[in-house]
Structure 1
């Protein structure tokens, strides 16, 4: 079923807050005391909702069975910590980039930097501009494009040259970053293309 707040929101607003939180269904049905909870001058829309609610209440009969709480996230209706945890993330998108960052062998400061870059929280010119701080309009390395995390790590000509020279020196067959991929996606594909023995290079 639905609550009065969902069915008759205008009429619900005419009920004092203290009554909303203390009145039970059984109390409201007893002698139609729910009707006396409505206060103030009603307009035509609220009167229509009142008449509609009256008809619903006249057809309502309470069961002698005691009420019980039903947890909607399990088939049995019983609460469990696991179902609560799953309900918390219901509809969310799974992200596996944390494994690439925090489960790799790199030094803690390298992991932390990659985490900041993945969250776009490095203090680039773009972020300085978002915070209203003084910044250079273009990348200081190439003086061609705005300075963003993606540009500094993947798109800047000097960065791409550094990736090429480093991968060639280490003899790692991973491709250099491309504009079509994000930093995390490129790292994921580069890791998959690199033999396990070379991944700690």
Structure 2
């Protein structure tokens, strides 16, 4: 599929014999527009983001028939928020493919405590960025019930909303361990304000806490911000073909003589307009005698000097 997309994008830059010439790296093309790309979706990553919707629904729609069937077939763990790992080679591979994305999905999910009967006290991540078993490994090793739920460790007052923690250990602690125990209960007492209703999920990447495919896709893409004059290219009223040419030129990828020679073509390196200097992007668009007069007029209109490179265009973008 991505090959079809690439061929469609670069088909007009072929050599006439069915061989296309990609101008810009595909990873850049698939970056968001404000990061210098074209916003084209990477199919494999976008597919994983789409499948993440089913992981989200599996954790919330516990009364639905499809969820009960999958849970019955594969089993659940960690409080029933996802199925167990599927290692067998037999059976339908659809849910196996969906469930394999859990490790990428779970860092962006928080468990919202209400009754606490579906959230494992030590194992699930509910009071910070890590589970309690990772924050306090020594205390976890001494816990009397490592699979305890939050509900089983809470004592709720019938006359008020006050709650107390009742965590049991299999041994007493030494004097040098008391400070760690105190930190443990201090963390617990900072998380005693629970919502009414049932335990649920909260999506970290959106303001309303609801799963969003686009936010998950961007998180999976791991975009690296770059300085790029995207507003000067795509934010003006210019034909898309012209904007695409300006985008390619900003990345230094239009097929000037020097770029063609780097790709193995044998041709004269001089400029096709002035027929003197080597044809580079900066020369062809800015410094050639035929282009110099035009750009001098444009830049003087904006109060800028004719700079040595396309950096002058970046200054124009910032001025806007």
Q: Name the TM-score, length of structure 2 as normaliser.
A: 0.32
- Asked which structure has the greater RCO (Cα within 8 Å, sep 6+), the reply is 2
Bigger Rg over Cα = 1
Higher helix share: 1
Q: Name the TM-score, length of structure 1 as normaliser.
A: 0.47
